[in-house]
Structures are given as C-alpha cells and as structure tokens.
Structure 1
Amino acid sequence: MGQQEATYDHRAIEERWQREWDDADVFRVPDDAEDPEYVLAMFPYTSGQLHMGHVRNYAITDAFARYRRMDGEEVLHPMGWDSFGLPAENAAEERDTNPREWTERCIEQMRDQFESLGFGYDWEREVTTCDPDYYKWNQWLFTEFRENDLVERQAATVNWCPSCETVLADEQVEGDDELCWRCDTPVTERDLDQWFFKTTEYADDLLESIDDLDGWPTNVRDMQRNWIGRTDGAEVPFTLHTPDGDEDVVAFTTRLDTIHGATYFALAPDHPLAEAAAERDDDVAHFVEEVADPDGDEPQGVRTDITATNPATGEEIPVVVADFVLSDVGTGALMAVPAHDERDHEFAQSHDLPIRQVVEPEDEADADAVDVQEAAYTEDGVLVDSGDYSGLDSETAREELTADIGGAESAVQYQLRDWGVSRQRYWGTPIPIVHCEDCGPVSVPDEDLPVELPEFVHTTGNPLDAAEDWKHTECPECGEPAVRETDTMDTFVDSSWYFLRFTSPDLDDAPFDVDRANDWMPVDEYVGGIEHAVMHLLYSRFVTKAFADLDMLDHREPFEALTTQGMVLGEDGTKMSKSKGNGVSPERITEEYGADTARLFTLRAARPDKDFPWSEEGVRSSRAFLERLLSMAREVDAGATTSDLDPAGEYVARETAATVADATEYFDEMEFNRAVQAVDELVSLLVRYRDRDSVDESVVARGVEVAVKLLAPVAPHVTEECWTTMGGDGFVAEADWPTPDRDVSDHDKATRLVEQTREDVRDIVDTAGIEDPTGVDVVTAPEWMYDVLELAKDADGNVVGSVMSDESLQRHGEDAADYAKDLAAQAPAFPDVLGPDAERATLERAAWLVESEFDAPVRVLAADEADDDVASKAEPGRPAIHVHEG
C-alpha cells in the first residue's frame, strides 16, 4: 500500500499495542474486585472461522467494556468456547479425526483471530465447555437437580436411522423425503427413554418475571412470553363410549361458554384411544400411519367407532382422530365447536358435521349479520340455545359452567415443555447415571465426577454405546455390574450457566464461588444473536432460578440488559454466506486495512441491533478517518496553553465539550454509530479551524485529545498510538473518560440557531445570485420580542391579550400585537430559543464559519445597531440577514 502504510502502519501498531496490553494485564480483573461491570458476548461455537458477524458482535461488547473501564469501572469482560456439539462430531467423521483434536485446533485458530482484532478479554478466565474441569459441573448440576426433583426420565419420540442404528438430530434429517444425512436411508421415529429438566415447574416464574426485564428488547420479551405460552381455561371431562367400555377423557378449552355447540370430539393421532381405534379400523390406521400431518395447511381427520357424551347437553356426538390435535398440547383431546372456532369450522364443513351457533354478538344488528354456516364467530358475546345459560355473557357463562359441570375445573395450560437434555451422540457431557438391574438409574457420586468421555470410536451407531470398556461399570449403590448412561447432554446445558463460571473459573470444589457470583452477577450487558432469543435465554433463566432456590445465588435473573445484534449483510443486501459467494473474510480486511478499520466500520455503519450491508467504500472511508486522526495527533502541540480564547476558539472549545456530552450519552446507550459520527464531525471541525490564519493551538490539542479518547473504545490500537504521540500518560485504554469543560446545556438550541443562520445566508446568496459577497450582517431581534415569546408560552390560550396587557410591551404597539398574533397561530408549538444575550454570543462565536465559507467578513448586530428595514425582519431564533455585494 506504499504511501498509505507510511502514514499508518496498522500491522506494526496493532502488534505493538496488543503486546503492551498483554504485558501490563490491562484487561485482567482481580478476584477481589467489588461488583465489576460485567460485559459479556454470547461465547462462540468453535467452528474455527470467524465471519464479519462475529467481528461485529464482539466489537460491540469490547467497545462497551472499554468505555466503561475508561469511565472508572472495574470491568469483567471474559471469553470462552461453546465447544461441544454435533458439528464437531460431523467434522471429525468427515476428516477421519476425533472431535477433541478438531475442536482444539479450532479454538487455537479462533483465539488467534480474537487477539489479532485487539479484543480486551481477561484471558485468565477463559473457559472451554469440552474440558472435563468444566463439564464436571454440568454433571454435578444434573445430579443436584435430580436430587431436588428437577430431573425426570420419560419416553420421548426421536428420529431413528435403521441403517446407521442411531438417533439423528433434526438437522441430520434431510429433504422432504426425510433421509439420513449420512446414508440416505428413510428416517423413522422411535420412542426412547430420555432425561428431562423440569422447566415447566418454573413456567409461572419464568413468565411473570419477564415484566421485570426492563433492559431487554420488547421483541425478545414477547418471544419468551409466546414460547412459555400460558393459556387460562378449563378442563372438562367427556365420557367416551368405546367397544371396550366407557372412559372419561378430559378436554382443555378456553371457551367453555361454547360447550352447548360442541358437535364432535377430537383425539390426537397418538392418543391411546386413537391407537386402539386404529387396531380395530383400517381407515383409522391408514390415517394415523400415513396421512396425519400436524404441519399441514388443512386440518385432516377420520371418524372412529367411538362416541362421546357432551356433559352439558347429554347429547352423544361423534369422535374423530384429527391431526390438528397434538398430544403435547392441552390434553391431546378437545371438544370441537365449529360455529365458534375457525379450525373446527373448516374440519366440520369438509366432513359434513353439524355447525350449531350458541354465542351471538350483544348488539342485535351485529347478530343479524353473523352466519356461522359461512364462517365461525369467534368473539365473546351472549349465549343462545344454551339452556339455562342462554342470555348470559360469555365470561359469566364460563364461570357458571365451570362450577356446574361435574368434574370441570379451572386450569392453566402452557406451551412450554420440559427440557429434553438427552442426546444420542458422542461429543457432549456424559450424563452421570449408571443403570443397575436392581437399583435402577443411579446417580454417579460427586467424588467420582467427572465421568470423562472415552476415546472416540468411529461407528455407525452411538460411539459411547460402542465403548465397551467405558460403558460397563459397577453400581455405586450395590456394587453389582451396571451400565453407564450412553446419552450425552444437550449443549444448551453448557451455555445455561457459563456466565457464572467466569466469576471463578479455576474453582475446584464448586461450579462457582457463591459469594463472588452474588457480588458480580447479574451480567450488566449481554450481547448476542436474535437466534438465541428463546432457547438459550430461557434455559439460562431457568438454571439461574433453580440455583437461587438451591440457595446458591441471590439473583433470579442472569442478564440485566440484553442487546441482540443485527446481521452484516452482503453488498447485495442479503445475508452473508459462502453458498451465495457474498461473504467477506475478516482476515483480508484486517490484513489490508487493519483491525481498527474493521471494528470502526462495523460499529459506525448502524446501531448494534440493526442489519447493515457490507460496503468496501465504507471500509476505505473508515481507514481514511483513522489516518486523518493519526496525522493530527502527530502534528498537534500537546503542551499548548491559553487563558483567553477569541470567539472562534471558544466556538470550537464548546463544540468539543458538546461532543463529549453527546458521545458519552451515545456510549451509555450503545449507539456507537452516533458516537463515531459525533467524533467524525468534531475532527472535521478541528481540521477546518486549524486551516484558519489565527489558531489557538490549545483548542486543537484539547479537541484532538477528546477525539482520541472518545474513539479509543472503537479503534483501540490507533488511538493508543495517538495517545503516546501526544505525550499521554500510560495507556489511553486506562485513561479517564473525558468530561465537558464548559456548560453545554443549551447546545442543541445553539446548534439549530447556527445551522439555520448559515442556511439562510446560503439561500440569500443563491437566490440573489451574489457571486462575490463583501460582507454579511447578522441581526438579532430586539429584546422585547423575547419578552413577548416568554409571555406567549405562559398565556392560557389568549396570547395576544396576555401580551398587550403588559405595560412594558404596549409601547411597541402594532409590532408587539403582530408578533403576538404570529405566535398565537403557532401555539402550542412555540419556538424554543436562546435568550437575547446567549443568542448574540452564539452567533459571534460561529461567525468564522460563515466567513470561511463565503470569504467575507461577518458582523453580528443587535437590532438597534442595524438599519430598520433589516432589523424588522429579525425574530428570536431567526436573525435577519443582509448580504453586501460589490
């Protein structure tokens, strides 16, 4: 890159400061730190390759951590590796290696990439989930939860490849034909005993505490609520009449007020009574085995030889098996009311089942417009054709029916299901259970943890099941021969508590130091992808609450504030991916432009939660910005001082102070794009000011120092170089965050005034066609007009009357009345302006901007200093302008 490298040798600069930070332990947090600011990015899966999305995610947390450190906080900013999981197992299979070797190579490569980007992690706290020292505590957690009745074993349906003789994850089932990813054999389903964490025990707690997560995005909180999916209703028993006898089956409904309109009863395809019907009836068997499609667009089903008695009417109604009824939702059975449910209505029409209206709108005119034969009426209303309940409103009817129907009772259903943690794979935490014929499933004693993985065996089935020496053991209770559990844990277990381990990563006798975790938790700022907005966050919340109930933690929520970062898109606006060929290599960007350029571009392009397209031009612009800042730092007179600034110098000094105030607010809100824009505008102003004939070097020095400090969290390497060049003490990474050295509370008003005035001058010059202005007069309004404005703001509707009743304003006669009328027309949106003295002082300080733009002298005049025909046009916040020419 030739001349560019001579200006900014990013390779040398980055290597130097990374080495210096490491030698000085800049980012290390001592164990005795008191409640450090905990900033955390969701730790990465060890794929071995970073992409620009990674760079953005980790640049966000690094910038915020660096800002908080400069702002005086001790900061905990750790990093670790989510290193178990199926992709590593697949990669090992493809490369004829083992998952551990593959994972360790990936970790080494990714750590190098993180370090080359200058991310300020406390590497002494690094955790790796596939390390036995870590997953020992997954096993301990499993045992502890089991002892406290938070773990159970039950049958669950899994994907099964009969050729490979193994369970497949959903992502290993490929295509519409549902074939095994490895051998293309059609995948079947099989029921296997699985281990579950009882998340449903915490359903209400998980749901209700969402309201307290003020620092979380609204959409994520809504996703959590929807996933938990609480539904209030009633359970009511229907008696089903089968060839084998009568049996009561409970149905859950949110609309018990419609029970008189239930014209059929529906069972899930895998309901025991449906399976019994399939054994008796070939049509039912065919539907259950071949046709039923819960994900289909249309509700499908088949009649059975079973009938049901409606408990409210005594009517006998048909029973169907339908694929829109799910065994794990509600009770796997429902009363169908086609007149008042769209799905029930569609099914009734296609199967010629009765549609009977029992609820109508309260308004008679609306009731006449309802035809339930054409479409279901699904709103609450007034009951009709419902016996003694006719005439009741829906809510009252629900209450009375619940009380009156035998066996009916109020009930709550959740969409949330218990967390199945069993995985039939090798590369995960072994579940610490031994199966004994006499004792049943027995937990491995704590003193025998960790149960380490055996050597990897290439096999078509589960490698743990093939590890005979490892699998066969003794029962911890009776000492008889027993078999180890060959399932491993869901990797979400690893990530459900890793943020706690960072507080004490080397602790040998507990998963985390309780006192320290209580002091340092919750995580103050957590950043990660929206794809983890449900499962990972929900499981982390569940585990945190469980730890709290085990008296191991004072906190019931793990993350106080959450940011879900947007994606980096290709230049075509679509998601970056190798298959689309629109990916950008972080290595190329850091090699060609530097790590700071990559960080700066990803943070200045958009707010953290917004997507943005990659732009090579944007990268080059970011690089140019850093070069300009470095050049200014090398040229600045850092020792310059002054005691008295001219108006132009005071203007720049105030803009510097305002930039500090604005950027600090933006950093607090993690709006790095706006913070960078503010610094960019300050640097541009400093360049313009430095080009004047009369420059106060202390103003430039202060401005550059501020720009360097404000940009330090975003572009840490080049700002360290700038800081040292300017003679700064220590590291800028440890320097004090700047504070405004002037009162800038009125800065927004001043900025609007200056920009409006400059625009007015431009409009006059352009409209009048003035090619060579010889001077510009800027005339402020007379003081009495500011008094009129203040009176108008306080007037209770009668602006003109309030103004003209003021004796001091009456002497201005029609002028005051006319201005009052103008203000009355604007009410209540009155101009928000500076006072007369502050307005004039602001314009005097900014006059140099107009002078440099038009190469003409500028005078700022009070109204009584200017010609009446000019002064009469001035108003508060909108000075009059006169441009001289010739």
Structure 2
Amino acid sequence: MQRGRTYNHAKVQEFWQFRWNEEDVYELDDPEDPRYVLGMFPYTSGNLHMGHVRNYAITDAYARFKRMQGEDVLHPMGWDAFGLPAENAAYERATDPRSWTDSCITQMREEMETMGFGYDWSREVTTCEPDYYRWNQFFFREFYDEGLVDYRGAEVNWCPDCQTVLADAQVVDPPEDVDVHDHAEGVCWRCETPVTTRELDQWFFTITDYADELLDGLDDLEQWPDSVTEMQRNWIGKREGARVAFSVEGYGDVEVFTTRLDTICGATYLAVGPGHDLAKTLAAEDDAVADYLDEHDPESMTGVETDLTATNPVTGAEIPVSVAAYVLDDVGTGAVMGVPGHNERDHAFATAMGLPVRKVVEPRGDGTVEVDVETEPYTGAGRLVDSEEYSGLSTAEAHTQLLEDLDSAAVDTQYRLRDWLISRQRYWGTPIPVVHCEDCGPVLVPEADLPVELPEFVQSRGNPLDAATEWKETTCPDCGEPAERETDTMDTFVDSSWYFLRFLSPDLDDAPYDVDLANDTLPVDVYVGGKEHAVLHLLYIRFFARALSDVGLLDHQEPVERLINQGTVLHGGEKMSKKKGNAIAPHEYGAETTRLFVLSAAHPNRDFDWAAKDVGEAYDLQQRIYGLVYDFADGEPTTDRDGPAEQYLERELDRTVAAATEDYERFRIHQAIGEVRGLAQLLGQYRAYDVPDRETYRHGLNVLLRLIAPVAPYLAEECWNMLRAEGLVVQADWPTVESDLEAYDRERTLVTTVRDDVRDICETAGIDDPERIELVVAPEWKYNAYEIARQQSGDSIVSAIMGVESMRERGEQAESYAKSLEGRGHGLEPILSRATETAELQRASWLLDDEFDAEVVVHEAEAADDQLASKAEPGKPAIQIS
C-alpha cells in the first residue's frame, strides 16, 4: 500500500474493515458474563445524525478499551424498526413501511461501518421481523396470565395527525410556537400536534402494580445519573396523605385526596375536575358547566361556579362547589378541597375566582413571624389556628388526630404513574395476539399460532389493519365461531423494553432468549443514551425486567448497572436539527475526524457546540500522530542512549498510561484524548530536541497508538502497521505501567509549575535569552517540617514543629517557616520526597533546555548559595536565571 505523509482515513478504511471482519475481532462466541456495553439502538430514520455518532462513539471507545484490556466484550447493534414515522414516510413516498425500513437499515449500517464502529453484527436484531416480534406476542400472553394485562374503556390521549392514541409519557410540553388551547395538556412527542382525548377500549400493561418496587429500586441505581432517577421518581409521583369526604347538597359524598389534612378547616371551596362524574352530571342540566367542559383551557386557572354547596366535615361550614380546569382527573380523586391560604395552586384559583382565603396554620416560634396568606400562601409546617378544637396542635399532631376523629377520613397513597397504554391504531407495529369473539369476548391467540404476522400493507387513512378484511376475519380459538382479530398494534416501546436480552441469543428459535445466559450476563454493564428517554424507555425496561422476573424468565430486576447520558451536539447554540437547518452530516468532515472531535469536545454527559476550529484541532491531532510514525518508519535518524531525557520520557509514558486508563474507565474520554494530545506533543518535542533513542522513541509511539486506538481506530491501525508492530492494534494489549507511580500527579504538577515559574521570571525580568537556569531543591529539614504540619489536626502547627529539638536548633529560620505553613491552614497536600523531587527535576531539565536553549542545573540546597537556598520550599524549588 503506497502511503503519503498526509493521513486520509478514507483511503485505508475499507482495507481495515476487511481485516477486522476477516479476523472476527468484534464477534463474541459463547460469552460467559462478558462486559456488556450497549448504546440505545436507533430508530431506522435513514441517516445517522450527530447524536447517533456521539452515542455510538462513546460505547465504541469504551468497548475497544475493555477489549484491549483483555476482557470479553459484548457490543451489539440492532434496529428499532417499527413505528409510525416509517408508515408516514411510506405514505409520502407511495411505498410500504417494510421497503422503506429495509432501505434505511442498509444505509445506516453502511454509515456505521464507515464510522469504524466495532459491533458484533452476528447478533443484529430487527424488531419488525416476525422472529423478533413473535416474542412481543409471547410476552403479552405471559403477562396476561400473570394478571399484568388489562382491557378496558378509557379516556385516552389522541393525536389527530398520527391518528393514534398516546401513552401519558408520549404527551410532551409544547414548543413556544404551538398553541394547545382547547386541547389536552401537551403535544404529540413525534409530530408536535396538540393532543386531544377520546374514549376507547384499549389494552394496558398494569405497570402501576410495580409503582412501589420501581420507586424503591431507584435507591439501588448508584451508577445512574441523579437527574434520571429524579425524573422517574417524579413520574411515579408517590404522595402519601388521606382521603376525606365532603357532602355535596343534592349529590352525595365527594371524596378528595390531600397531603395536608391538617389544613381542612381552611377549605373555602370544593373543586372537581372536568372529567369528574359530578361535572358530567351538572353538564347535563347546566349550560354554563356544559360550555365550560367543551371550551376550557386545561393550562388555565379558570373555572365555573355551580349552584351546589359542600359541607366541611370538621367545621360544618357550607362552601361553594366549582368545576376547575386545574383539578386533574387522573390525579388523586379528581376533586380537591380548596385551601388557598396554604396551597399555591388553590391560592391562584381562589384569587382568579374571587374566593375567600383563610389562615389556619402559622409558623411555630416566638410569634414574631407574621404571614399574610391573602398575598401569598404559607405552605410550611407550624401550629393550627382558627381550627376548632384542633387549634394549638402542631400540623403533624393535627393530621394524626383528624384521621382518628373523622369517620370519612382514611390514610391513602396516590401515584402519578398510570398504567402503560400499549394500543396503537397503526399498521407498522406488533399485532396484539387477541381475537374478539361475540360469545367469548377477547381471547388470546394460542402460543402455537404465534407469530400473528402483519398482512400486506394497504394505504389508508387511520388504521390500515381495519382495511385488511381477509386478515382480520378469523375464528375464535375457544369456540370455533367467526371472530375478528384485534387491529391495534403494540406501542413500539414494547420492542425496545427487552431487546438487550435478545442480543444474547438472537438466533434462538424456541425462546425469546437463553434464560440461563441472561441471568449470567445481566445487568448490562454500561448503557449509553439520551436523557430524553428517562421515562419513555428506561422506566419501561425496568418494568419489563420485573415482570419477566415474576413470570420466571429472569432473575434480575434491574437490567442496567451503569447509565451514561450523552449530551446534545449543538450548532449555533441550538440542537442540531434538519428542521432548523443547522445539522451537519457525520461524513462532512470525515468519519475519524468527526468521532475524534465529538469525543474530545466535552465530557460525554455535557452539551457542546460544534465549532470548525475545534474540528480542525481533531484533524491536526491525527496528522501529528501520523507524521510522527510516518517519519520514524521512513528511516529518520535514531541513536542508542539512556540519559535523563529518555528516563523522563519513559516515566511520562507511564504517567500518561495511568491517567488515560483512569479516564477511559470513568468515561472522561475527552481527558483521555487530552493525555494523547500531550503525549504526541512531548514525543515531537523529544524528537526535535536531539537525535532520539530508537527504543525509547519506538516505545513511545507504540504506547501512543494504543491509547488513541479506542477513539481513532483507522488511524491507530494504519500507524500500527507502519510501525511493524505485531498483529492488529485492536487486538493488542492495553499498555501497562512499568514503574511505581504513587505520586505521578504530583510529579507532573511539579514539572508544570517549575516551567511556568521560569517563563514568568523571564517575562517579568525581561530576559529574552537566558544562558543558565539554576533550580535549587529545599533542604531536608523543610520536608520534615512540612510532614509534621500535615499530621496536625488540632494543635498549633508552629507549636508542633518547634516542639522538635532539631527544629528548635534552627531558631528563627524554622519558626518563620512553621508560621508560613500555619498560615496555609490545615489540610496541606501531600508532597514528593526530597530525593524524588530532585530526581524528577533532573529528568525533566531537558524540557527547559529545549524551550530556552539554556544550561539547566539542578542541585540540592547544600550545594547552592545560602540566600538562594533559603527561598526553596518543598514542591517549589528556588530558581535563579542568568
């Protein structure tokens, strides 16, 4: 292969892809508890975008790193291939969803291979294939038998544009330019159309059965981002409180849920939500209520007063009843006791509607704290006032006493979490394995008849399966009479709730996955994906693991041990998006430059802005590394020497390996690349300083290539080959540390600080061309004094140091130094020993010689002028420049 001195990955990528495939370097045979590294598999949109590249570059770098450390690594890839966008795309292009999806997969796989991602393609899964989705249907049957499936009429979220229902988690906050008035509280997560509601018979997974388990399990997810666990905690929304009944004139009891039963005497109104039975009853006879139900804005603090009154069960007071938009039908009981003096939302509603505000709780203390609840509600704890016989009690005492005294009050726990609505009125999804029989009702399709495959696609508005008459007509498995297939398909989040299990045994015919293998392999060691999936996906996989455990198909209830959320790639301060016209295609700057840049720009969980300058730096790093290896392989002069420069370089190689290894392990990949960048610069400086020692320099290049291999595999492989190193770099051993590096960070800090100090002195003194640089290491007694100071916790540092006879003998000199240490306070950082500091400065002296072209002398205090030596301190040698 003819090479030039400029590196171009496009010229070598096909060759190295061929070699990697020929060697099966990424395939894992019969894994036994491998390191499972997984990126959230992509929806088949047709092109990789920069978010994909960042996600998969992170997992690829870590997988390559672990593989080089000698571990068995499972790093698979597949396709989240069902979903409405494919159906819409097919409709727009007058084709069918499968053809569109297959073409997208082909293109995305080619792009992934071009990017150099090292996947075990032998484990590829595609969720729209019958051999995959048959197991969705199998799980449906298993969950049904376990009592985890429900079929019922419900008011559901409906997207008019997608013509399908949405789960609560798929209704998202609207963009600023979308008006949601007269609609439900949000927009469709896919198309941003304002969502409405409908009453439909639907299939649900009863995820609410696991509310407490899912909540408690969050405490065990120590390697998940706090933001994700908090989002799930809030989504589950457990609230402990009480139910209590208010008697409504002419209607009967209306139960409310409250977390502040202690404030019941401050209730000045009762409000029910638009979906409450009382509101519907009133709408039949009150035009004002009927109009409000039709036209209300769910985001507003509006309401309509009724002619009814309710009786406060404690005070006996008659309070007005309203229908209010802010009372949510699916939260609590759909009714609230309005306590505007001590609840922010109640206060806002009362202010808007002109309802009275009462203070029944005031802060505990000396009585000097006054609260004006007319202006702002007081929501804290305290003691009760104006609360009948409960006045004077603490809020906690009053809550307990009221539960005992009120016959209609009872302890209650409420959740925000709702059952998972899985029915979708679309074609491109898993058919729900049910037939509807007039006599038998809904009947499961027998396991032997799975999979229920999708019929040929028919273009239609709404649900295409309704138009598939021949497919829809069938017989009842129970009675044999004519019946109809269920025409709803499953939410595609069902597909992605267990795909990580199928990767373990993708070709298994008689089970969804090898249970024993799953129990040995799970949890997934590292899972990388966007924070936006905290509820839409991550809550569902946790539910699925628990449900599978309950049906005897899995031992693990938490499927993922470590979660990494990758940040967003911005351009011009905004997320890259085709809609916004600011997207940059991954291939635009070249695959390797792109992946090197997205990994070096920031910590994986941070957002960063695409900048051409920073991309240029990634390109320059490749060229620098390639040039170093190319020139060495081309026969540049070398020698055979083992002097201070070589000793420093060997030690710095070890320090770099130690730092980069820790960075890769902790997913600080941007810092690992920084280590590589520094090492490449140092090797170039060493080569330019003098004719390099061949073995030292070759060893340095060898280490450099192995450290860069996880993030720039084509470059590393091409250079590894030029270096005539053994085998493939992807299969090479990760470099190890050869020396004792307990204090490597302090050694680095010492050299960096000294070089900075020399520059500052030259600049301050106006020395443009120094001839001699003298570095003087402090006397031994100062190191001893420093260690005495470090060990002090309570006593005076000066007293402790001067309490040592050898220090007292030094008189004012020792006392002055002790006072300077005491001035720094306790918690002094560890320092190098005197011998180590001296040796490190001697090894690093060539760097100052190279930079300033000056004679560099390093010696200890005893060999220096007394005045100069007196200025030296541990970790900060005295410096004299002439």
Aligned to 1:285: 290
**What is the distance in 1 between the residues matched to 2:348 and 2:156?**
31
Q: CA deviation at 1:171?
A: 8.6
Could you report, residue by residue, the CA deviation over 1:198-240 in whole angstroms, capped at 9, with x for unpaired residues?
A: 0100000000110110110111111110111100100112222
Distance 1:587 1:189, change over 3 A: same
585, 589, 593: which one pairs with 1:597? 593
Q: CA deviation at 1:66?
A: 0.6
**What is the distance in 2 between the residues matched to 1:317 and 1:644?**
96
Residue type at the aligned position of 1:772: D
Within 5 A, what are the aligned runs for 1:594-673? 595-636=591-632, 645-673=642-670
Could you report, residue by residue, the CA deviation over 1:407-449 in whole angstroms, capped at 9, with x for unpaired residues?
A: 3111110011100000111111111110001100001111111
Matched, 1:434 2:439: no
Aligned to 1:773: 770
Q: CA deviation at 1:543?
A: 0.4
Distance 1:551 1:816, change over 3 A: same
Q: Is the 8 A contact 1:439 1:477 kept in 2?
A: yes
Residue type at the aligned position of 2:332: G
Matched, 1:678 2:675: yes
Distance 1:757 1:442, change over 3 A: same
Q: Is the 8 A contact 1:8 1:627 kept in 2?
A: yes
212, 235, 242: which one pairs with 2:220? 212
Secondary structure at the counterpart of residue 377 of structure 1? coil
Bigger mean CA deviation after superposition, 471-480 or 683-692: 683-692
Residue type at the aligned position of 2:248: L
Q: Is the 8 A contact 2:638 2:692 kept in 1?
A: no
> RMSD over aligned Cα, in angstroms?
2.6
Distance 1:579 1:349, change over 3 A: closer
**What is the distance in 2 between the residues matched to 1:797 and 1:171?**
62
Aligned to 1:365: 367
Within 5 A, what are the aligned runs for 1:518-533? 518-533=519-534
Residue type at the aligned position of 1:353: L
Aligned to 2:760: 763
Aligned to 1:18: 17
Q: Is the 8 A contact 1:750 1:839 kept in 2?
A: yes
Q: CA deviation at 1:177?
A: 7.5
Aligned to 2:577: 577
Q: CA deviation at 1:881?
A: 1.3
**What is the distance in 2 between the residues matched to 1:318 and 1:715?**
70
Matched, 1:68 2:27: no
Within 5 A, what are the aligned runs for 1:468-483? 468-483=469-484
Q: Is the 8 A contact 1:39 1:526 kept in 2?
A: yes
Aligned to 1:228: 236
734, 748, 752: which one pairs with 1:751? 748
- Using the aligned pairs only, state the percent identity: 54
Q: CA deviation at 1:756?
A: 1.9
Q: Is the 8 A contact 2:274 2:280 kept in 1?
A: yes
Distance 1:692 1:186, change over 3 A: closer
Distance 1:703 1:542, change over 3 A: same
Residue type at the aligned position of 1:404: D
Q: Is the 8 A contact 2:630 2:722 kept in 1?
A: yes
Distance 1:208 1:186, change over 3 A: closer
**What is the distance in 1 between the residues matched to 2:422 and 2:212?**
21
**What is the distance in 2 between the residues matched to 1:653 and 1:641?**
16
Q: Is the 8 A contact 2:641 2:693 kept in 1?
A: no
**What is the distance in 2 between the residues matched to 1:349 and 1:91?**
49
Aligned to 1:715: 712
Aligned to 1:87: 85
Residue type at the aligned position of 2:398: A
Scaled by the length of structure 2, the TM-score of the pair is: 0.94
Q: CA deviation at 1:183?
A: 15
Aligned to 1:503: 504
**What is the distance in 2 between the residues matched to 1:482 and 1:540?**
33
Q: How many residues align?
A: 868
Could you report, residue by residue, the CA deviation over 1:633-668 in whole angstroms, capped at 9, with x for unpaired residues?
A: 234479999997311111111100000000000000
Distance 1:814 1:529, change over 3 A: same
**What is the distance in 1 between the residues matched to 2:281 and 2:416?**
27
Q: CA deviation at 1:832?
A: 3.4
Distance 1:767 1:91, change over 3 A: same
Residue type at the aligned position of 2:56: Y
Aligned to 1:248: 253
Scaled by the length of structure 1, the TM-score of the pair is: 0.94
Aligned to 1:129: 127
Could you report, residue by residue, the CA deviation over 1:239-283 in whole angstroms, capped at 9, with x for unpaired residues?
A: 2222xxx42222100010011222221111111111111111111
Residue type at the aligned position of 2:704: A
Bigger mean CA deviation after superposition, 623-632 or 714-723: 623-632
Aligned to 1:271: 276
**What is the distance in 1 between the residues matched to 2:585 and 2:428?**
29
Q: CA deviation at 1:455?
A: 0.9
Within 5 A, what are the aligned runs for 1:207-606? 207-242=215-250, 246-290=251-295, 292-296=296-300, 299-366=301-368, 369-570=370-571, 572-590=572-590, 595-606=591-602
Q: CA deviation at 1:373?
A: 2.9
Distance 1:543 1:761, change over 3 A: same
Secondary structure at the counterpart of residue 691 of structure 1? helix
Q: CA deviation at 1:522?
A: 0.9
Aligned to 1:696: 693
Bigger mean CA deviation after superposition, 687-696 or 520-529: 687-696
Q: Is the 8 A contact 2:86 2:100 kept in 1?
A: yes
Could you report, residue by residue, the CA deviation over 1:651-694 in whole angstroms, capped at 9, with x for unpaired residues?
A: 11110000000000000011111001101101110111111225
**What is the distance in 2 between the residues matched to 1:184 and 1:376?**
36
Q: Is the 8 A contact 2:182 2:298 kept in 1?
A: no
Distance 1:770 1:342, change over 3 A: closer
**What is the distance in 2 between the residues matched to 1:380 and 1:529?**
39
Q: Is the 8 A contact 1:638 1:727 kept in 2?
A: no
Residue type at the aligned position of 2:552: D
Q: CA deviation at 1:610?
A: 0.8
Distance 1:393 1:165, change over 3 A: closer
> Where does the alignment leave 5 or more consecutive residues of structure 2 unmatched?
none
**What is the distance in 1 between the residues matched to 2:524 and 2:671?**
25
Residue type at the aligned position of 1:225: R
Aligned to 1:28: 27
Q: Is the 8 A contact 2:165 2:423 kept in 1?
A: no
Q: CA deviation at 1:364?
A: 4.7
Q: Is the 8 A contact 1:59 1:714 kept in 2?
A: yes
Residue type at the aligned position of 1:205: E
Q: Is the 8 A contact 1:165 1:460 kept in 2?
A: no
**What is the distance in 2 between the residues matched to 1:460 and 1:761?**
76
**What is the distance in 1 between the residues matched to 2:194 and 2:753?**
71
Residue type at the aligned position of 1:578: K
**What is the distance in 2 between the residues matched to 1:67 and 1:874?**
43
Q: Is the 8 A contact 2:587 2:594 kept in 1?
A: no
**What is the distance in 2 between the residues matched to 1:59 and 1:373?**
56
**What is the distance in 2 between the residues matched to 1:4 and 1:222?**
53
Q: CA deviation at 1:394?
A: 0.5
Distance 1:165 1:107, change over 3 A: closer
**What is the distance in 1 between the residues matched to 2:164 and 2:762?**
78
Residue type at the aligned position of 1:610: R
Q: Is the 8 A contact 2:770 2:881 kept in 1?
A: yes
Matched, 1:854 2:855: no
**What is the distance in 2 between the residues matched to 1:375 and 1:804?**
62
Q: CA deviation at 1:794?
A: 2.9
Secondary structure at the counterpart of residue 574 of structure 2? coil
Residue type at the aligned position of 1:835: S
**What is the distance in 1 between the residues matched to 2:193 and 2:113?**
44
Q: CA deviation at 1:390?
A: 1.5
Secondary structure at the counterpart of residue 150 of structure 2? strand
**What is the distance in 2 between the residues matched to 1:376 and 1:759?**
58
**What is the distance in 1 between the residues matched to 2:46 and 2:485?**
32
Bigger mean CA deviation after superposition, 411-420 or 633-642: 633-642
